[in-house]
Structure formats: structure tokens, C-alpha cells
């Protein structure tokens, strides 16, 4: 089976071909236009998707060596995401499906982050998954494909959002997550003890208190001190965020008594988080799945592999498929 995946939910235009268990191409066009605004501008994102989606998809097909006529299904990110951006991908995928008479499959972008793990790891259930992206921080229990039980969610900011907003406070460019990660590698995680909100309570998350705490801290210490201790502050912030994420995952694993755990979403690229999760999995003898770095942040390979999971059971959509901005 061969699936073409298309992703356009935020600020990456991406296309990928999955064939018989393998990713043959994974093309991502990132939109630099947002950098000057310190965040994604929805209208500019839609326009940039419209400009590049044809080229990106053609390139993904070409690199894979698979002709569009040989594709068995077209999978496309349906939501959550920016409405205008989603509409570009969805309309484009519908056009292809109609022209080449291919089945269409709408994919939940958050599910796709999770199932990105099955690009390189064996498909196994039940598992507890921690999805940490720019828009979501969720703990789920999954006993079979697409059967998700929501165990925990964020009450305010997502983990990626916390990294980005705190990074912005520290004067780092958007998206600040990868930059905080880089600086933290040279810093002392014990330099300052930032709050770990709700760490001992339940499976929900809250990160806005940490953001406020960093704001007060930087105001009190002043610019010069902050810039002179950027590595240590980034390390201390990363320690606070990752401690909470690991503690919640531990609690969920204990509650559901699973042997398989997975990490997913952009923040799963974070080096401190990957290290702590690996240590925890080793201590508890768990099978830990984390996507390769290129499949952590937004990409279309994750859409294609999730499409393949749906295509194998004939779970197709028709041309009335609609985008959705949020998940309930």
C-alpha cells in the first residue's frame, strides 16, 4: 500500500510518501515569514501554503519514485490547526483525490504526532502516550489504533507554548523551544528553582505559573544578569518543565500498568526530556518510543503513516470532509 500525506495545519507545508512500511520521502517547507512577527500570522501562513503546496507535493512524489497514479490513498491533516491553513491542504488534497480518483483520508494532527512513532517502532498496544507540542500537552491511553482515552490535559499553556513564551521573555527568537534547549545544554539546571506546578497532583498540567515566575525573576534580576546567565536560566526552566512532564507520565504509567510508552510532538525533540524519559524507561523496564527528530516537529510523514493505519481498515472520507480548528 502507498499513501501520500499532506500537512498544512500551522506554518509548515509538508508532503510525504509512505509505502509498505517505509517513508520514501519527507519534504518540509518552513515559513520564515513569521520570524519578524515573533509568532505565526494566520493570513500569511495560508498564503505561504498556497504558494508552496504544489511544489512541495510534487517534490515528495518525485523523491519517492512513486507516481501519483500508483498512490492508494491521500491522507491530509484535517485539524486541529489554523482554519485558513488547513483549508489550503484540504482543498488541494480533495483536488488530487478527485482528479486521480483516489480515496481521501482526513487525519487528526494530534493523533498523527503519536502514530509518527510507528514509522520506526513496531506497532504495539496498549500504550500511554504523552503528546507535547506547541498547541497541546496531553496524556492518552491507547488500547488499539484510534481508541484513545484522555488521561490528562493542560489547564492553560501547552509545554511548547511555555518554552516559546519563556524564551521570548528571555529575548530569544521564535520559536524559542529549540533555542532554549540548545542554551540549556551549557547551563546548570539547579541554578534557580522554578515552580513545578501541579507536579504532585493528578494528570493535568499547568505551565502559566512558571511563565509568570520567570517574568518576575527576570524583572527582579535585570537584563544584564539575565543575559549573563542565559544558559543557567534556560537549563533551570527546562528542568522545571521536563520534571513535570516525566512525573505525570510516571503516574499515568502506574495507573494504567502499561509496558509501552511513547512521547510525541515538537517538544519530544527536547534533549533534556528525551534523556529523562529514557532514564525512567530504563529504570522501569519499559518499551519507550520517541520519534526520530525529523518526525517530532510538524511533518507529513506522520500524516502518511497515520493514513496507512486508517486505509488498512478502509476508513476513508468523502469530498465533504471539513477542517476543524480545535479538538474537544
Helices H, strands E: what count in the chain?
Answer: 10, 10
Rounded CA-CA distance 48/169 in Å is 28
Q: What is the dihedral of CA 42, 48, 49, 50, to 10 degrees?
A: 110
Which among ligand KG4, Zn ion, none contacts residue 5 (Cβ within 5 to 8 A by kind)? none
Q: How far is CA 174 from CA 31, 215, 315, in A?
A: 12, 17, 38
Q: Find out whether 49 is annotated in a ligand binding site.
A: no
Residue 7 touching Zn ion (CB under 5 A): no
Q: How far is CA 180 from the centre of its chain?
A: 17
Q: Find out whether 229 is annotated in a ligand binding site.
A: no
Looking at 187, 265, 291, 323, which residue binds ligand KG4 (CB under 6 A)?
A: 265
Q: Find out whether 298 is annotated in a ligand binding site.
A: yes
Min CB(142)–Zn ion separation in Å: 18
Cell numbers at 166, concatenated: 519563556
Q: Find out whether 164 is annotated in a ligand binding site.
A: yes
Supply φ then ψ for residue 90, to 5 degrees. -65, -45
Contact in structure between 266 and 296 (CB atoms under 8 Å): yes
Residue 181 touching ligand KG4 (CB under 6 A): yes
Write each residue from 210 to 239 as x if it is in contact with ligand KG4 (CB under 6 A), else as -, in one continuous string: ------------------------------
Which among Zn ion, ligand KG4, none contacts residue 160 (Cβ within 5 to 8 A by kind)? ligand KG4
Stretch binding ligand KG4 (CB under 6 A), from 66-74, 133-141, 223-231, 245-253 = 133-141
Write each residue from 115 to 144 as x if it is in contact with Zn ion (CB under 5 A), else as -, in one continuous string: ------------------x-----------
Report the residue number, 24 or 267, with the smaller CB distance to ligand KG4: 267
Residue 242 touching Zn ion (CB under 5 A): no
Residue 25 touching ligand KG4 (CB under 6 A): no
Contact in structure between 175 and 182 (CB atoms under 8 Å): no
Write each residue from 100 to 129 as x if it is in contact with ligand KG4 (CB under 6 A), else as -, in one continuous string: -------------x----------------
Q: Find out whether 188 is annotated in a ligand binding site.
A: no
Which among ligand KG4, Zn ion, none contacts residue 181 (Cβ within 5 to 8 A by kind)? ligand KG4
Shortest CA distance to 26 belongs to which of 10, 15, 36? 15
Stretch binding ligand KG4 (CB under 6 A), from 33-41, 83-91, 174-182, 199-207 = 174-182
DSSP string, 51-66: HHHHHHHHHHHHHHT-
Residue with cell 498496544: 125
Cell numbers at 215, concatenated: 517574568
Rounded CA-CA distance 323/133 in Å is 19
Rounded CA-CA distance 18/15 in Å is 10
106: β partners: 76
Residues that bind ligand KG4 (CB under 6 A): 10, 113, 133-135, 160, 163-164, 175, 177-178, 181, 265-267, 269-270, 297-298
Q: Which residues are annotated as a binding site for Fe cation?
A: 109, 113, 298
Residues that bind Zn ion (CB under 5 A): 133, 298
Q: Which residues are annotated as a binding site for substrate?
A: 131-135, 164, 177, 181, 270
Amino acid at each position: 500500500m502507498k499513501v501520500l500525506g499532506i500537512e498544512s495545519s500551522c506554518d509548515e507545508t509538508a508532503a510525504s510518501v509512505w509505502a509498505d512500511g517505509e517513508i520514501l520521502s519527507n519534504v518540509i517547507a518552513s515559513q520564515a515569514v513569521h520570524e519578524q512577527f515573533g509568532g505565526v500570522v494566520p493570513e500569511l501562513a495560508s498564503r505561504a501554503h498556497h504558494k508552496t503546496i504544489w511544489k512541495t507535493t510534487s517534490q515528495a512524489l518525485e523523491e519517492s519514485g512513486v507516481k501519483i497514479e500508483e498512490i492508494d490513498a491521500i491522507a491530509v491533516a484535517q485539524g486541529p490547526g489554523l482554519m485558513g491553513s488547513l483549508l489550503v491542504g484540504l482543498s488541494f488534497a480533495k483536488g488530487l483525490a478527485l482528479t486521480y480518483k483516489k480515496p481521501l483520508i482526513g487525519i487528526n494532527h494530534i493523533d498523527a504526532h503519536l502514530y509518527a512513532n510507528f514509522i520506526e517502532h513496531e506497532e504495539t498496544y496498549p500504550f500511554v502516550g504523552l503528546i507535547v507540542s506547541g498547541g497541546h500537552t496531553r496524556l492518552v491511553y491507547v488500547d488499539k489504533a484510534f481508541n484513545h482515552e484522555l488521561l490528562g490535559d493542560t489547564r492553560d499553556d501547552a509545554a511548547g507554548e511555555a518554552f516559546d513564551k519563556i524564551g521570548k521573555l528571555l529575548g530569544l527568537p521564535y520559536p524559542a523551544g529549540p533555542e532554549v534547549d540548545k542554551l540549556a545544554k551549557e547551563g546548570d539546571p539547579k541554578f534557580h528553582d522554578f515552580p513545578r506546578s501541579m507536579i504532585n497532583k493528578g494528570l493535568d498540567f499547568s505551565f502559566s505559573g512558571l511563565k509568570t515566575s520567570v517574568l518576575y525573576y527576570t524583572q527582579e534580576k535585570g537584563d544584564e544578569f539575565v543575559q549573563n546567565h542565559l544558559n543557567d536560566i534556560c537549563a533551570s526552566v527546562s528542568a522545571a518543565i521536563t520534571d513535570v512532564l516525566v512525573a505525570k507520565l510516571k503516574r499515568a504509567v502506574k495507573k494504567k500498568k502499561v509496558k509501552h510508552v511513547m512521547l510525541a510532538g515538537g517538544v519530544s525533540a527536547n534533549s533534556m526530556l528525551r534523556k529523562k524519559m529514557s532514564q525512567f524507561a530504563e529504570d522501569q523496564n519499559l518499551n519507550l518510543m520517541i520519534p526520530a527528530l525529523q518526525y517530532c516537529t510538524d511533518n507529513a510523514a506522520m500524516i502518511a503513516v497515520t493514513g496507512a493505519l486508517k486505509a488498512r481498515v478502509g476508513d476513508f472520507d468523502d469530498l465533504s470532509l471539513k477542517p476543524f480548528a480545535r479538538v474537544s
